[in-house]
Structure 1
Amino acid sequence: MSWLAQRIESFGHAIRGVRTLLLEEHHAQLHLLATLIALTAGGLLGISRADWQVLILTIAMVWLAEGLNTALEHLCDAAVPEHHSLIGKAKDVAAGSVLITAGFAVVMGALIFLPYIF
């Protein structure tokens, strides 16, 4: 397989992963809604270039956390289908990391948008 064909194939895998994330994960759908709201608000409020940079980085961090959490959950379920307390803890920690990241994203959103609103 040529180098170009391998790159195209790897993009196909990545796109399939994004599709899986968006279609099968309820929390990812909520993140998508929050992303669209934040981007729309940024456009309507005319936020600065620096605020756009922070906003986009913050959004990316939430998506990274959600994607890694989902990947870990699928991997754990495949490796150990029956209940295992350590697998449960690992999944809880990963989910907690998403919650923490999303919480900080809300704080960042408030720091960015509130000065434009008030």
Structure 2
Amino acid sequence: MDGSSSPVSAFKSRGGVARIFKALGYSLSGLAAAFRFESAFRQELLLIAVVVGLALVAKLPAIEWVMLVLSMGFVLVTELLNSALEAVVDRVSLERHPLSGRAKDIASAAVLISMGCLAFTFIVLVLPRLAVVLGLLK
């Protein structure tokens, strides 16, 4: 299949340097929309702010910061994808349908897994160092 018969969206970018700036604008609009319309996204940002604050107190080494930041990014990415999927499903139909529910539940499960990964990273990397800094452990 050579793809020549595939329809091309009128919204599809044609490329070039201008595309990079347009893509950045779309991405920033997406982040603003997530912040404005998605309470879970705002709650996760608040959670991340707390995690960062505690990690600063714990004085993590650079490699552990990398792992922590990747875990936090994983949470935000999965939440953004979950929110996007929910918006598309709701755009298609607001009627209850088992497949719509399944799609939303599976996307929500992805967020749960990412939150579990962040919790694990926090427990393994931050809590022990935080306990030492606070004098709870020697």
- Normalising by structure 2, report the TM-score: 0.78
Partner residue of 1:24?
Answer: 37
Instruction: Name the count of aligned residue pairs.
Output: 118
For residue 99 of structure 2, the aligned residue among 79, 86, 94 is 86
SS in 2 for 1:81: coil
More moved, 65-74 vs 38-47: 38-47
Specify every segment of 5 or more residues in structure 2 that has no aligned partner in the other structure, as ranges: 1-13, 132-138
1:1-80 to structure 2, matched below 5 A, reads 3-80=16-93
In the alignment, does 2:124 pair up with 1:104? no
The Cα shift of 1:13 comes to: 0.7
Deviation at 1:3, TM superposition (A): 2.8
Secondary structure in structure 2 of the residue aligned to 1:47:
coil
Shift of the alpha carbon at 1:2?
Answer: 8.2
Unaligned runs of 5+ in 1: none
Provide the secondary structure at the position in 1 that maps to 2:96.
coil
Residue 10 of structure 2 is matched in structure 1 by none
Amino acid paired to 1:53: V
d(CA) in 2 for partners of 1:19, 1:107: 29
Structure 1: how far apart are the matches of 2:95 and 2:21? 36
Two-structure CA RMSD over aligned residues (Å): 1.6
- Render the CA deviation track for 1:64-88: whole Å, top value 9, x for unaligned: 1101101111111112232211111
Going by fraction, where is helix more abundant, 1 or 2?
1
* Residue identity in the other structure for 2:48: T
Compared CA separation, residues 112 and 4, structure 1 to 2 (3 A): same
